[in-house]
Amino acid sequence: MATPSTRPPHFDQLAREGVKFTNAYAACPVCSPTRASILTGKYPARLHLTDWIAGRKQWPTARVLTPAFEQQMPLKEVTIAEMLKPLGYRTASIGKWHLGGGGFHPENQGFYLNVGGDQRGSTRSLSVDTTPTHCEINSLGALLAYLSRWRSVMLQRRVRARIRRFSPGRCPRLLPQPA
């Protein structure tokens, strides 16, 4: 059960009526293709992303040729974040990304918030790029504190936008004004 201070609107209903998954399947035995398949719903071979990025080198003594494959998840691929965005959802990618470097980060694939995701295959700490500062998150407690502050900032922005929308001079006149 969610606590009153963090209760999302439909959290308890989701817990009661949601589906519990007890078995899982990974589309590939390595990270990058599996992550791409989860985000897009496609098999790694359809994405032409069949090995971890940057993948294995073709050694001259290898018995099998390593096929050429994508070195990032193509931007033309539609992710679950991109599907949810028009429905009003704000999604976050938290942790390892490893699906491409500059221009191919989570925020380029539809995610509203990116915490720690870049081209590296591991996250030494969760890096949050914020303007104009850059902060490091190296524990679950620090991540939760950051997300709480982020949620608070987003709520403050929403309230400010509503106040501006109904500020004097902009407020709709519901009653006739005396002459």
3-state secondary structure at position 139? coil
Marked catalytic residue, from 28, 31, 48, 134: 31
The tokens for 39 are 């985000």
The tokens for 15 are 């817990």
The tokens for 133 are 């500062």
135 is catalytic: no
**Could you tell me if 2 and 12 are in contact, meaning their C-beta atoms sit under 8 angstroms apart?**
yes
Confidence of residue 56 (pLDDT cuts 50, 70, 90): confident
In the predicted structure, residue 66 carries a pLDDT above the cut 50: yes
The tokens for 81 are 């974040």
Which tens digits make up the pLDDT trace of 102-157?
A: 888 888 999 888 777 677 666 555 544 443 333 455 566 666 677 777 667 766 66
Pairing of strands 113-115, 92-94: parallel
Q: How many residues does the chain have?
A: 179
Marked catalytic residue, from 10, 28, 48, 98: 98
Confidence of residue 33 (pLDDT cuts 50, 70, 90): very high
Which tens digits make up the pLDDT trace of 143-178?
A: 667 777 766 776 666 666 665 555 455 444 443 444
Residue with tokens 């990304």: 97
Q: Where are the domains of the chain?
A: 21-123, 124-166
The tokens for 150 are 């982020």
